[in-house]
């Protein structure tokens, strides 16, 4: 059953900037540990703080010099994110101010937190479950709304309900098998083999659907890579620049201008795409151009979307499409303002006038598939491994039931499948798992 992590008294107080480092209106600094309130009292000169009530304060160092004005909140243990005494300071978002405040805090028996240390303390104090800890990675680091929603849903709703439903179904099947094993004569007629097998296969299908949706979601967790390829001079760099909104690549009326891969981020509708401009594909005239074309072709392995751009109505080479049949292909006819040929079935655009670019942006939008509400929205490789193992055990159990003689073995496989599902919820966490999850967190989280 669930083993709650033991509560461990924190021996020290940690602090960190919890917002991104850089210039902004506000920056949030957090402290966690037994000395948090003491540091706050010293820096504000105020003795009493009402729990969880934000107050305006002027922060000073030990020489009484003003560090900044800030809004501070004190969260006494155990009602805080980490379960320890915590303080949150919202100061002005200038890195110089942030550094001054952090220096003052660490001079008062507080140290800078390690990456993920706040979350680790929350986990140790039972404030966050393992699976919630994993969902934070998706909430904080996803590059698409779909990924972020997956993380948020896993954190708010947990995987418990859909998993428990499957587990309950497995228990029922196990019960039927046990009765058949214990009272074979009595249960004759009631043991419906076909029904059991189809029940198991339907659980398996459900789990496979979750696995599929996780694989798709993974592709949107990281930035979606869109690679623009095509013959030389077809207008790839012009389109690339137009989408980015500035002159990132050199544009020139001569075939073979772009030699290297040119990459940049393109943000729209809260998504980050990596857009890649490439060397035009043709029989190269020079060795250096051949190297560029080699790079173009190699870059396709990493692509999520391949845009084939043509200004002569030429379709993408069949061999290339075959080689990358697993990618999303977009065929685009360029230079439509100048009467360039339009390839049937393609999208017509003009980098000069902007024609067709809104449609192109819509097509570039990463797969943003909504999950079904009863779907098991797993969000870590650890969970995926257990899900795959559960699927394998279920398939084995179904096969064993099919060949009657192996009912005991089928029961064993079902037990193993159930155990794997329990492991997804992190009911038996170990230190290595926690360490590997936290290693993906940044300082201040
Ligand atoms: N009329 C018109 N000309 C365009 C358009 N897009 C590009 N061009 C012109 O086509 C020529 C080649 O443009 P590039 O963007 O450098 O083409 P490219 O495909 O990157 O070429 P390589 O890097 O050599 O493979 C330039 O003279 C551009 O001004 C367009 O939408 N309309
Ligand atoms: Mg170019």
In terms of domains, do 187 and 279 share one? Answer: no
CATH number of the domain where residue 318 is located: 3.40.50.300
Partners of 26 in the β-ladder: 92
The pLDDT of residue 273 is 85
| Top-confidence residue, 425 or 187 | 425
Of the ranges 75-84, 267-276, 436-445, which one carries the lowest mean pLDDT score?
A: 436-445
pLDDT at residue 69 above 70?
yes
- pLDDT, one tens digit per residue, over 319-336 is 999 999 988 899 999 999
CA-atom Rg of the chain in angstroms? 29
* Closest residue by Cα to residue 240 from 248, 356, 253, 338: 248
The whole-chain average pLDDT of the chain stands at 87
Q: Which of 229, 231, 235, 250 to mutate to test the pocket of ligand 1 (most atoms within 8 A of CB)?
A: 235
| Top-confidence residue, 15 or 148 | 15
- Rounding to the nearest 10 degrees, give the CA dihedral for residues 88, 91, 97, 98: 30
Average pLDDT over residues 61-72: 97
Where in the sequence is the domain holding 279, given as residue range(s)? 226-364
Q: Whose CA is nearest to atom 11 of ligand 1?
A: 253
H/E stretch holding 129 reads: none
In terms of domains, do 231 and 359 share one? Answer: yes
The pLDDT of residue 344 is 96
The pLDDT of residue 58 is 98
CATH number of the domain where residue 402 is located: 1.20.120.430
* Closest residue by Cα to residue 417 from 203, 137, 131, 127: 203
Q: How far apart are CA 286 and CA 288, in angstroms?
A: 5
In terms of domains, do 20 and 73 share one? Answer: yes
In terms of domains, do 239 and 299 share one? Answer: yes
Does 96 map to a domain?
Answer: yes
Average pLDDT over residues 193-211: 88
pLDDT at residue 188 above 60?
no
Residue 369: pLDDT band (50, 70, 90) is very low
**What phi and psi values does residue 252 have, to the nearest 5 degrees?**
-155, 145
In terms of domains, do 54 and 123 share one? Answer: yes
Ligand nearest to the CA of 230: 1
Residue that finishes a domain, picked among 364, 397, 420? 364
Contact between 208 and 391 under an 8 Å Cβ cutoff? The reply is yes
In terms of domains, do 79 and 169 share one? Answer: no
Residue 149: pLDDT band (50, 70, 90) is confident
In terms of domains, do 238 and 357 share one? Answer: yes
pLDDT at residue 6 above 50?
no
Does 185 map to a domain?
Answer: yes
pLDDT at residue 47 above 80?
yes
**Residue 250 alpha carbon, nearest atom of ligand 1:** 16
CB atoms closer than 10 angstroms to residue 32: 29
B/e letters for 16-28, b = 16+ CB within 10 Å, e = fewer, are bbbeeeeeeeebb
Contact between 175 and 407 under an 8 Å Cβ cutoff? The reply is no
What is the distance in A from the centroid of ligand 1 to the CA of 254?
8
Residue that finishes a domain, picked among 329, 344, 364? 364
What is the distance in A from the centroid of ligand 2 to the CA of 313?
18
Does 141 map to a domain?
Answer: no
pLDDT at residue 163 above 90?
no
What is the distance in A from the centroid of ligand 2 to the CA of 277?
7
Strands (E), 1-100: 13-17, 24-32, 55-60, 66-75, 86-93
- pLDDT, one tens digit per residue, over 231-285 is 999 999 999 999 999 999 999 999 999 999 999 988 777 667 889 999 998 887 7
What is the distance in A from the centroid of ligand 2 to the CA of 234?
8
In terms of domains, do 119 and 20 share one? Answer: yes
What is the distance in A from the centroid of ligand 2 to the CA of 320?
20
**Residue 349 alpha carbon, nearest atom of ligand 1:** 31
What is the distance in A from the centroid of ligand 1 to the CA of 334?
9
Residue 429: pLDDT band (50, 70, 90) is low
Q: Tell me what percent of the residues of the chain surpass a pLDDT of 70.
A: 87
Of the ranges 167-171, 212-216, 302-306, which one carries the lowest mean pLDDT score?
A: 212-216
- pLDDT, one tens digit per residue, over 407-420 is 888 889 999 999 99
Ligand nearest to the CA of 256: 1
pLDDT at residue 2 above 50?
no
Q: For the chain, how far is it from start to end, CA to CA, in angstroms?
A: 29
In terms of domains, do 386 and 416 share one? Answer: yes
Counting the structural domains of the chain, the total is 3
- pLDDT, one tens digit per residue, over 102-111 is 999 999 999 9
pLDDT at residue 370 above 60?
no
- Coil/strand/helix, residue 353: coil
The pLDDT of residue 171 is 86
pLDDT at residue 186 above 70?
no
Contact between 443 and 114 under an 8 Å Cβ cutoff? The reply is yes
List ligand 1's pocket residues with C-beta within 6 A: 232-238, 251-253, 255-258, 280, 334-335, 337-338, 350-352
Does 136 map to a domain?
Answer: no
Q: Whose CA is nearest to atom 21 of ligand 1?
A: 233
Spatial strand order of the sheet with 305-310 comes to: 262-268, 271-277, 224-229, 305-310, 328-333, 347-348
pLDDT at residue 1 above 50?
no
Does 443 map to a domain?
Answer: no
Q: Whose CA is nearest to atom 13 of ligand 1?
A: 235
């Amino acid at each position: 059953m669930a083993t709650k992590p033991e509560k461990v008294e924190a021996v020290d107080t940690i602090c960190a900037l919890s917002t991104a480092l850089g210039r902004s209106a506000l920056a949030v600094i957090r402290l966690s540990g037994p000395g948090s309130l003491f540091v706050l009292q010293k820096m504000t000169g105020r003795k009493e703080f009402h729990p969880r009530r934000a107050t305006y304060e002027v922060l000073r160092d030990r020489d009484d010099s003003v560090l900044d004005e800030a809004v501070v909140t004190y969260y006494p243990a155990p009602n805080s994110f980490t379960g320890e005494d915590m303080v949150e300071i919202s100061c002005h978002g200038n890195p110089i101010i942030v550094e001054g405040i952090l220096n003052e805090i660490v001079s008062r028996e507080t140290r800078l937190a390690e990456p993920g240390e706040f979350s680790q303390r929350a986990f140790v104090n039972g404030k966050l479950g393992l699976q919630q800890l994993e969902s934070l990675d998706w909430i904080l680091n996803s590059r698409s709304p779909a990924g972020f929603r997956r993380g948020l849903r896993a954190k708010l709703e947990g995987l418990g309900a859909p998993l428990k439903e499957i587990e309950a179904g497995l228990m029922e099947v196990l019960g039927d098998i046990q009765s058949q094993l214990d009272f074979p004569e009595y249960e004759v007629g009631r043991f419906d083999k076909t029904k059991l097998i189809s029940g198991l296969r339907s659980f398996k299908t459900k789990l496979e659907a979750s696995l599929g949706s996780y694989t798709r979601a993974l592709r949107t967790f990281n930035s979606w890579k869109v690679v623009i390829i095509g013959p030389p001079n077809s207008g790839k760099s012009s389109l690339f620049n137009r989408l980015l909104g500035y002159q990132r690549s050199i544009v020139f009326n001569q075939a073979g201008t772009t030699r290297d891969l040119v990459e940049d981020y393109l943000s729209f509708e809260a998504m980050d795409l990596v857009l890649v401009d490439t060397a035009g594909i043709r029989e190269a005239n020079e060795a250096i151009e051949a190297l560029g074309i080699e790079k173009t072709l190699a870059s396709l392995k990493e692509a999520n979307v391949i845009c084939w751009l043509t200004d002569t109505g030429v379709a993408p080479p069949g061999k290339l499409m075959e080689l990358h049949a697993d990618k999303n292909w977009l065929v685009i006819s360029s230079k439509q303002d100048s009467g360039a040929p339009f390839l049937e079935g393609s999208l017509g655009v003009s980098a000069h006038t902007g024609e067709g670019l809104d449609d192109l942006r819509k097509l570039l939008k990463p797969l943003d598939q909504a999950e079904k509400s009863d779907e098991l929205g797993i969000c870590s490789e650890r969970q995926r491994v257990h899900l795959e193992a559960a699927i394998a055990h279920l398939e084995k159990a179904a096969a064993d039931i099919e060949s009657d003689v192996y009912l005991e073995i089928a029961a064993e496989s079902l037990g193993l499948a159930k155990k794997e599902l329990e492991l997804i919820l992190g009911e038996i966490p170990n230190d290595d798992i926690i360490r590997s999850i936290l290693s993906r967190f940044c300082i201040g989280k």
